[in-house]
Structure 1
Amino acid sequence: MDELAVKLLKRAEALKAQRQMHESVWRECYDYTYPLRGAGLSGEVLNAQSAKHKVAKLLDGTATDSARMLASALMSGMTPANAQWLNLSSESLPDDAKAWLSDCATLVWENIHAANFDAEGYEANLDVVCAGWLVLYIDENREEGGYSFQQWPLAQCCVASTRNDGIVDTLFRRYQLTAEQAMREFGADRVHPKIRQAAQQKPDEAFEFIHAIYPRENYLSSGRLAKNLRFASYNLDVSHKHIVRESGYHEFPCCVPRWMKIPGGAYGIGPVYDALPDCKELNQTKRMEKAAQDLAISGMWIAEDDGVLNPRTVKVGPRRIIIANSTDSMKPLLTGADFNVAFTAEERLQASIRKIMMADQLQPQDGPAMTATEVHVRVALIRQLLGPVYGRFQAEYLQPLVARCFGLALRAGVFRPAPESLQHANFHVRYISPLARAQQLEDVTAIERLGANVANLASINQEVVDLVDTDEATRVVADALGVPAKVIRTTEAVSDLRQQRQQAQQQAQQQAMMMEAGTQAAGAAGNITGEALAQKLMGEG
């Protein structure tokens, strides 16, 4: 029995106990949106068959549709596949270093979306909308190259933080492997003898493992051995309390953002939690409406036992003859149901759910095409709605994602050699996603308004144009719009271009002056010749 394995198992159990108080809430949020994604929470085992019964109990799909729409909006707003959403830059670096960083950012972005990020990222965003947090594991694809992304089920993960800012840097994941998979993953010499025996006799027998990732107290920043890296990684066999792999990471390999943190803990809750009371009420209202609909369709009857008609055995239906003593022996009975009340309540609850989950603003608006002003106002509204969420996601999701991917690519030697000016320089990640770009549109709008006002004032006083640095204004607009750095000329290139243009203008002016001087000289010579001819003729006369 390994002493370190026992210590890690105890910590895993302690983290699981801290998480159990929240599991019932997350499971309930999944039950009203995507029941199958909540499998494993509170010990509930779900498969496609058992989840089907839960889906059948959902009588209204407003919450599910709103969750899907918000997850899609987060995915397309933060990490779109059709537009570069990240850049690397620094204010103090020269243009050649900025160009190198821009090329590196483009390469990282291309490789992220060339991998399976778009598929795993969308499912991860569904988790953050429903449960309020997600776990996305990032590593190198050791077989085919490039990146590999895995969305780990929340029921398997327990997280914690040792940082002052509360960002998650500790994760324990409990998962299962068959004996054959364990042999292939860890090697026959690392697994327990019972697993080797099971691989020969029962290869499909499942065994439970724990993957523990946490920061080391002592590490080497330039270390190459896995045991010296900043984050420790241990895979251990739970049943036999045996460590099957010891490794490490340069960066924390998981992104664990929270929609809204639960006070005093490392977990979060999502917008479905806020809409949960309306979801329950809407489902109950639909259930009562279904019951009233059954009565409205089939009807309700009152019958009298008149000696011929037996109300206990009579059955109402098409092509049935009911024998009674009188036509008054059986009459339809008014139910007293009012469907207008149900419809009004449903519309109110559905609108409330869409508003809480921002689906009423994120979905395309019906009606005629919007004007440019309407589009600008709607973008500003969406920015206000998602701005606070985007701020947290930038620190807890995008920053670790880019840092991890950049580190993997740098150590793999994918980038071209860096310029000397970048040695020992600091640079930061800039996000140019649609949400980040929307937050920067205020600068673009302000510059455009300033340009229009300066143009009007220039008609009165031309010197007012000197107040505006047009080169810097153009660069600010280009950065806000996400223009690639290679499109904008460097300061040296602009200086050389203007110097060449100035020299060409000077040469043109010199040629024009020389031509004008030659013309004047030719005219003067013609006048002298004319005067001499006139004097000669007068002398002859």
Structure 2
Amino acid sequence: MNADQICKTMSTLKSLRTPHEQVWRDCYDHTYPMRGNGFYCEMMTAQEALNRKARIFDGTATDSSRALSSQVQAGMTPANSLWFGMDVAQSTEDERRWLGESAEIIWENIHASNFDSAGFEGMLDVVCAGWCALYIDQDREKGGYLFDLWPISGVYCSASKPGGKIDTVYRSYKLTAEQAVNEFGEGNVSESTRKLAVDKPQELVEFVHAIYPRKSYAVGARLAKNMPIASCKVEVSAKKLVSESGYHEMPVVVPRWMMIPDSVYATGPVADALPDVRMLNEMVRMDMAAGDLALAGMWIAEDDGVLNPRTVKVGPRKIIVANSVDSMKPLQTGADFNYSDTRITRLQMAIRKTLMTDQLRNQDGPAMTATEVHARVNLIRQLLGPVYGRLQTEYLQPLIERCFGIAMRAGILGQPPETLAGRPYTVRYLSPLARAQKLEEVSAIDQYVAGCAMAAKAQADAGSAPDAMDNVDLDAAARFRGEALGVPSDVMRSKADVQRVRDDRQQAMQAAQEQQQQAAMQQMVGQAALKQTPGAAA
């Protein structure tokens, strides 16, 4: 694409996104106004953000959004445990070892970067607006990964395939004239920007960053212009292409919560709770006004020639001069605080339920039993299971592919086994949410094994052969259970190691039996010799 085509495409994408922006603006208005920067004006000042925050009279939606974002982040990408692995079909021991070590190196480098902070803020956008845009690249200065969460107010998306993942992202952003010259070079920017860099270096210049799949590219290309994903930056006012590059993988991941029909965009759970959030905000505002009346009171006064209602002031230690005590009386406000308290409490509970805060948060009180824990995990799996499936496809999968590609090209994973060349790998998720989806199968395995064991015992008690356990592959059951529970690979032995341990045990048992046999034979030989010796019987 040339600069003119990119500007036209940007204009079209803006018009397609405009109908949905009011919903996102309202969601941010009632939770995190600062995160909606760009939807209200080009640049929100700190005072404007405080003014918008002051219009929120109840923090239930804000607190619940933060709690849900934290739970999703901790459930998908915990920083304290490995949350993914990599596999290939019919892998050997060396291949599994290299893939396991590579996954651990990538995981360590992800969390050694700024991913945890950027990922959490991204989940806030997903919960509030339904989507976010996370840019992933290599840190050119310090090494490792660099995660940059783009404000969604300046991001416009499209998909090249109907119903497919977002693979085209246009971003509108601004640089100072000085920054533009330093980044793109003096010869690549327009004449007006070069003059601004000299006369007004802090003047802002608008750019568009277009990222889209190329129709024709070279496999394993070394030149950025031949890579599968194109990256073009255009100076908008001059319609000048200032940079053309490319990526091996899609560098921007765009996870979505709930799709808007006939659109690539989405809405989040805050949009579902928005009617209750608006009602709660208005109820609390009216309750505060009623409370002000209840504290200060409301009065009626008569202008009796002595008392002037327009100048009288009510307060402690004040004497009001009037012609009669009936000239000024207090009025009943008519406010029903019991109703408002009940209504506010119900709305708060409804918001927490919609945003799944009550179900996902740790419950106060005594420690839960194993049955309660299992029921709670099942509830979390049911609530977040469908959403987690989409986030796996649109968030975790492209994130790992991008990080793996960067690490592989940087050479930090070492030399892979030659047998892995050209073989596709699959990502195996080990996060708490992924394990929660497998716990039902773990429970079924436990019940099945226990049932077969009881049947075998009943057979033995009845004098029959206890062959009910022959139906169970205990090795497969133990391995699946360990993987589903997220047991570290260092703790679980591989099949080859298990076979080696069993062979050693068998050999040790055979050696012990042989020693016993030899000892018994030597004893028998000794006893026979004693019998043949004259006088031995005496």
Question: TM-score over 0.5 for the alignment?
Answer: yes
> Which residue of structure 1 aligns with residue 71 of structure 2?
73
Whole-Å separation in 2 of the counterparts to 1:99 and 1:335: 75
The answer to whether residue 493 in structure 2 is matched with residue 505 in structure 1 is no
Give the AA of the match of 2:517. M
> Which residue of structure 1 aligns with residue 364 of structure 2?
366
Q: How many residues of Structure 1 are paired with residues of Structure 2 in the alignment?
A: 532
> Which residue of structure 1 aligns with residue 475 of structure 2?
471
Give the AA of the match of 2:59. G
The answer to whether residue 519 in structure 2 is matched with residue 515 in structure 1 is yes
Partner-residue secondary structure (3-state), 2:207:
strand
Once the two structures are TM-superposed, the CA of residue 505 in structure 1 deviates from its matched residue by 1.7
Contact kept in structure 2, 1:157 and 1:174, CA below 8 Å: yes
Residues 283-331 of structure 1, C-alpha deviation per residue, up to 9 Å, x if partnerless?
A: 1111111111111001111223333222232211111111122222222
Give the AA of the match of 2:171. R
> Which residue of structure 1 aligns with residue 349 of structure 2?
351
Residues 111-164 of structure 1, C-alpha deviation per residue, up to 9 Å, x if partnerless?
A: 100010001111111111111110000001111111000000011100000124
Whole-Å separation in 2 of the counterparts to 1:419 and 1:498: 28
- Aligned-pair identity in percent equals 54
> Which residue of structure 1 aligns with residue 271 of structure 2?
273
Of the structure 1 ranges 16-25 and 192-201, higher mean CA displacement relative to structure 2 is found in 192-201
The answer to whether residue 532 in structure 2 is matched with residue 528 in structure 1 is yes
Larger radius of gyration: 1
Q: What pairs with 1:193-204 in structure 2 (closer than 5 Å)?
A: 193-204=191-202
Once the two structures are TM-superposed, the CA of residue 530 in structure 1 deviates from its matched residue by 5.1
The answer to whether residue 421 in structure 2 is matched with residue 427 in structure 1 is no
Give the AA of the match of 1:64. T
Contact kept in structure 2, 1:94 and 1:421, CA below 8 Å: no
Partner-residue secondary structure (3-state), 1:389:
helix
> Which residue of structure 2 aligns with residue 455 of structure 1?
453
The answer to whether residue 318 in structure 2 is matched with residue 320 in structure 1 is yes
Q: What pairs with 1:330-341 in structure 2 (closer than 5 Å)?
A: 330-341=328-339
Of the structure 1 ranges 141-150 and 495-504, higher mean CA displacement relative to structure 2 is found in 495-504
Residues 182-228 of structure 1, C-alpha deviation per residue, up to 9 Å, x if partnerless?
A: 12211222222322222222211110000000011101121111111
Contact kept in structure 2, 1:98 and 1:485, CA below 8 Å: no
Contact kept in structure 1, 2:530 and 2:536, CA below 8 Å: no
> Which residue of structure 2 aligns with residue 389 of structure 1?
387
Whole-Å separation in 2 of the counterparts to 1:165 and 1:404: 22
> Which residue of structure 2 aligns with residue 106 of structure 1?
104
Whole-Å separation in 1 of the counterparts to 2:537 and 2:382: 90
Partner-residue secondary structure (3-state), 2:467:
helix
Q: Structure 1 533/193 Cα, relative in aligned 2: closer, same or farther at 3 Å?
A: closer
Contact kept in structure 1, 2:172 and 2:206, CA below 8 Å: yes
Of the structure 1 ranges 86-95 and 35-44, higher mean CA displacement relative to structure 2 is found in 35-44
Give the AA of the match of 1:413. G
Whole-Å separation in 2 of the counterparts to 1:59 and 1:454: 59
Whole-Å separation in 2 of the counterparts to 1:507 and 1:78: 50
* Residue number among 178, 181, 184 corresponding to 2:182 in the alignment: 184
Partner-residue secondary structure (3-state), 2:412:
coil
Whole-Å separation in 1 of the counterparts to 2:268 and 2:503: 58
Partner-residue secondary structure (3-state), 2:287:
helix
* Residue number among 25, 28, 41 corresponding to 1:27 in the alignment: 25
Of the structure 1 ranges 524-533 and 450-459, higher mean CA displacement relative to structure 2 is found in 524-533
Q: Structure 1 213/533 Cα, relative in aligned 2: closer, same or farther at 3 Å?
A: closer
> Which residue of structure 1 aligns with residue 243 of structure 2?
245
Residues 381-403 of structure 1, C-alpha deviation per residue, up to 9 Å, x if partnerless?
A: 11110111101100111111001
Contact kept in structure 2, 1:99 and 1:485, CA below 8 Å: no
> Which residue of structure 2 aligns with residue 378 of structure 1?
376
Give the AA of the match of 2:479. R
Q: What pairs with 1:287-302 in structure 2 (closer than 5 Å)?
A: 287-302=285-300
Contact kept in structure 2, 1:132 and 1:268, CA below 8 Å: yes
Any stretches of 5+ residues in structure 2 without a counterpart?
Answer: none
Give the AA of the match of 2:104. T
Partner-residue secondary structure (3-state), 1:312:
coil
Of the structure 1 ranges 205-214 and 489-498, higher mean CA displacement relative to structure 2 is found in 489-498
Whole-Å separation in 2 of the counterparts to 1:384 and 1:183: 52
Partner-residue secondary structure (3-state), 1:41:
coil
Whole-Å separation in 2 of the counterparts to 1:270 and 1:533: 98
The answer to whether residue 481 in structure 2 is matched with residue 481 in structure 1 is no
Partner-residue secondary structure (3-state), 1:265:
coil
Residues 20-57 of structure 1, C-alpha deviation per residue, up to 9 Å, x if partnerless?
A: 11111111110000111111116464221111111111
Once the two structures are TM-superposed, the CA of residue 464 in structure 1 deviates from its matched residue by 2.6
Partner-residue secondary structure (3-state), 1:264:
coil
Give the AA of the match of 2:480. V
Q: What pairs with 1:145-156 in structure 2 (closer than 5 Å)?
A: 145-156=143-154
Whole-Å separation in 1 of the counterparts to 2:207 and 2:504: 69
Whole-Å separation in 2 of the counterparts to 1:506 and 1:519: 20
Q: What pairs with 1:198-277 in structure 2 (closer than 5 Å)?
A: 198-277=196-275
Whole-Å separation in 2 of the counterparts to 1:115 and 1:144: 10
Partner-residue secondary structure (3-state), 2:533:
helix
Contact kept in structure 1, 2:180 and 2:189, CA below 8 Å: yes
Whole-Å separation in 2 of the counterparts to 1:296 and 1:196: 64
Give the AA of the match of 1:123. E
Give the AA of the match of 1:466. D
Q: What pairs with 1:407-422 in structure 2 (closer than 5 Å)?
A: 407-422=405-420
Q: Structure 1 326/214 Cα, relative in aligned 2: closer, same or farther at 3 Å?
A: same
Of the structure 1 ranges 460-469 and 141-150, higher mean CA displacement relative to structure 2 is found in 460-469
Whole-Å separation in 2 of the counterparts to 1:281 and 1:370: 35
Give the AA of the match of 1:229. M
Any stretches of 5+ residues in structure 1 without a counterpart?
Answer: 535-541
> Which residue of structure 1 aligns with residue 169 of structure 2?
171
Contact kept in structure 2, 1:221 and 1:229, CA below 8 Å: yes
> Which residue of structure 2 aligns with residue 537 of structure 1?
none
* Residue number among 125, 129, 145 corresponding to 2:127 in the alignment: 129
Once the two structures are TM-superposed, the CA of residue 494 in structure 1 deviates from its matched residue by 2.6
Once the two structures are TM-superposed, the CA of residue 443 in structure 1 deviates from its matched residue by 2.3
Contact kept in structure 1, 2:208 and 2:234, CA below 8 Å: yes
> Which residue of structure 1 aligns with residue 500 of structure 2?
496
Whole-Å separation in 2 of the counterparts to 1:490 and 1:345: 59
Once the two structures are TM-superposed, the CA of residue 440 in structure 1 deviates from its matched residue by 1.0
Give the AA of the match of 2:199. Q
Partner-residue secondary structure (3-state), 1:440:
helix
* Residue number among 426, 438, 441 corresponding to 2:436 in the alignment: 438
Q: Report the RMSD for the aligned CA atoms in angstroms.
A: 1.7
> Which residue of structure 2 aligns with residue 538 of structure 1?
none
Once the two structures are TM-superposed, the CA of residue 335 in structure 1 deviates from its matched residue by 1.4
Whole-Å separation in 1 of the counterparts to 2:199 and 2:243: 24
> Which residue of structure 2 aligns with residue 41 of structure 1?
39
Whole-Å separation in 1 of the counterparts to 2:481 and 2:438: 9
Once the two structures are TM-superposed, the CA of residue 507 in structure 1 deviates from its matched residue by 1.7
Contact kept in structure 2, 1:36 and 1:47, CA below 8 Å: no
Contact kept in structure 2, 1:95 and 1:491, CA below 8 Å: no
Whole-Å separation in 2 of the counterparts to 1:401 and 1:449: 37
Whole-Å separation in 2 of the counterparts to 1:216 and 1:381: 43
